[in-house]
A and B are shown apart, each in its own frame.
Chain A
Amino acid sequence: MPAPSRWMIRCSLLYLLTGFAIGAAMLISKAYPVYPQVWQLLPVHIEIAIFGWIIQFTMGTAYWILPRYLKTGGRGNSMLAKSMVVLFNTGILLNVISYLQFLPEEAVFWGRLSEVGAVGLFVILHWNRVVSYRR
């Protein structure tokens, strides 16, 4: 498994744990509203669960598992792959920090832009790997 995949999958596992922990706290708060402020974490829960866990895990696994280039045996430009990992996680963290009000609301724009950049790199890296080598 290549390094970018390992990083993305490990990050996604950490997001899974965080997302589920926040989700559990909010769910329990429906029965025992001891700390109702936990509901302010709803946007964080959604960001972490969908982008941090589901999408990141899928991207990391796809980078590892899709067919490699026949001539080089590689997965394309590794710097682009590393940039994809950094951009995607920067985007998630910017959004989360903004939702927690440690950054102004406008930071979400830059967070989303960072995620779009990462997904653009994902498309560039994988477009030519979606192939069949059977004749």
Chain B
Amino acid sequence: MSERTGEREVGRSRPRKEDARLVTGQTTWTDNIGVTGLLHLAILRSPMAHARIERVDVTPALERPGVVAAFTGRDFAELASLPCAWPVTEDIVLPGHPAVAVDEVRYAGDPVAVVVARDRYTAADALEAVEVDYEPLPPVLDLEAALANDASLVHADKGTNRCFVWPLATGERYETVRERADVVLRRRYHQQRLIPNAMEPRSVVVTPLATSGEYTVYSATQIPHVLRVMLAMVTGVPEHKLRVVAPDVGGGFGSKLQVYGEEVIALDLARRLGRPVKWTESRSEGYLATHHGRGQIQDIEVAATREGRLLGLKVDLLADMGAYLMLVTPGIPILGAFMYPAIYKMDAYDFTCTGVFTTRTPTDAYRGAGRPEATYAIERIMDELAVEVGLDPVELRRRNWIGHEEFPYTSISGLTYDSGNYEAATDKALALFGYDELRAEQAKRNESGDSVRLGIGVSTYTEMCGLAPSRVLRDLRYAAGGWEAASIRMLPTGKVEVVTGTSPHGQGHETCWSQIAADVLGVPFEDVEVVHGDTRSAPQGMDTYGSRSLVVGGAAVHHAAEKVVDKARKVAAHLLEADERDLEFTDGVFSVKGSPEERRTIQEVAFETFSSHDLPDGMEPTINAEHLLDPENFSYPHGTHLCAVEIDTETGRTSIRSYVCVDDVGKVINPVIVEGQVHGGLAQGIAQALYEEAVYDDEGNLVSGTMADYLVPGAPDLPEFTTDRTETPATSNPLGVKGVGEAGTIASTPAVVNAIVDALRPLGVHDVRMPCSPGRVWEALRSAQSDRSGWEGAERS
């Protein structure tokens, strides 16, 4: 029987267990699943942003060979509305959301009809035979105009496009504080809509089993457990007759934290047709049908002293809900509400968010979900404040941030930051970046009038993740809890099964949970198997989003493993005829203090427990254990990101010259996985700053409707990153870990835009709207210098 070498697993850069199937093409993506008799769904979608459906006729489609069935919205009348689990206020406007539109379409892409055919080609062809007559209605696109009294309405029966108003005011009255301020700055920032672009398109397969009346739903989802509950509620299929499986899932970034109409339709049609069905979106279809992220207008105001000390902060937010409220749509901007004060001390905070319906694809979680928006606005305006009071932007931040000796610290928005060290991370980042040298070079280049300008951007962020204490979620009116489940099964041969309620889709849980369990149990890493993503084998869980998996789910594994050791200790003590208190447990071996030859391995204990021939009196014959962990607090990763850009003022092109980040994510289970999460987060945050935007035209058509138009950056479009860490352990979990999945995205967007504006400020530019495309940068330069005659770009040296 294998024994441990003694080296700790936690903290090692273990190559991942997951990789073997992924690098060899043995993966089970949902679209790979094929079963005899499988039928394919195709969905006809509205080509218009807003219209009344006058007529839908699917009979011509039914006449096509190979078409088994076809349905309109009326055929799904018995299904309940698609769910919104986060009605953020008591008086929120919560319109019904049919999986297939019945009388009215409310965004380009709203489903209108469903065809079912023998293969995907036949299904795609049949869509063209469906006849639909639309009576166009006015699109609702502008967030401010949508709130006017005479605005056209997305949901006419609701009488308003105002979905909710959610206020938060803490500390002193903001107006009072404002009166004693020397400096008041007000800015408006735009958070463009983004398309999450998980590389695996969404897909769902439902197989009915006639003998038991059970349905298995395979879905490319982040949330198999939540999905099971919701599918039962929406379709009426009893929950115990539903098994939901998230097979290998190719990324999510929030876009698969959802209960989608296609999942509901597939289950309903498998029930009605008694046949297995599959639906897989094409990328362009997904751009319409998979929820978007961001989409906010932020009015932010800071009040400060002449010396640059923050006194107060006021935020008025307009948040684009899109046409319907999906699973957590209204809650996304509210997650940001608590983060505007960031790492800074102040006396007053006043926040209001207004949710607005528009005739666009619904928004919902996208990597960071509310927190990138908040961090962007505060970090941008901190730079503007630094200019206003004549301070270096880093110095301004130093004057305002929470000192490391002040933790735990209750922020003005009411969060208790348990730990952190902003000075340490910043000092390390500045040194790695060569901040002073770059500032000197910048000054020199500005002086010479170089046509390629250098800009330096900083972002000192924190965020709240590890969702979440259930009571806090209750207070925020979120319908579910925030606990996570883990159970550990010691198999008779000494191998270990770790069952987790988290549902990975690229994060490496199989590897990291193995490392955690191996250390506590003292078993080899290779002897641990992690079971996840199937409600039959891993029946309890709250799934994966909000950088919660390690902080809540990984910690639950740790606790469950400790319970196993406690039970095993009783058995070992009995077998060794020793008192429990006299046993030591090291590297999987129980031994009697002072008599190391008196020993039992945990594997031996597992077998003895299996045979149960000689257990302590009254003991259940198992050392398996389960732990459900409800976290006591969020986790608060933080860090300092520094970006240097060069801007070609003749073309407006921004090139990232260097990017340095020092993140504090507490203790680290697997450094290389953490680094990978940071890299990927940076890529998406930089993409928002420079490249990506879901663009709509005046009629509400998605113009950036394909991957050729929506610019996901490729390898040449991103820089080499310099990443490092400081380590201030979290105090709210036994592992000392903080979430890392979203940190890079949250931090990087303002670092890049701050650098761009820093480069252009001497030329009269004070903001560039994201994405800071070459065209936008050039137009900003042109309008800043339109007074000067003969402007064709900055003068060349």
Are A and B physically bound partners?
A: no
The chain B residues found within 8 Å of chain A, CB to CB, are none
The chain A residues found within 8 Å of chain B, CB to CB, are none
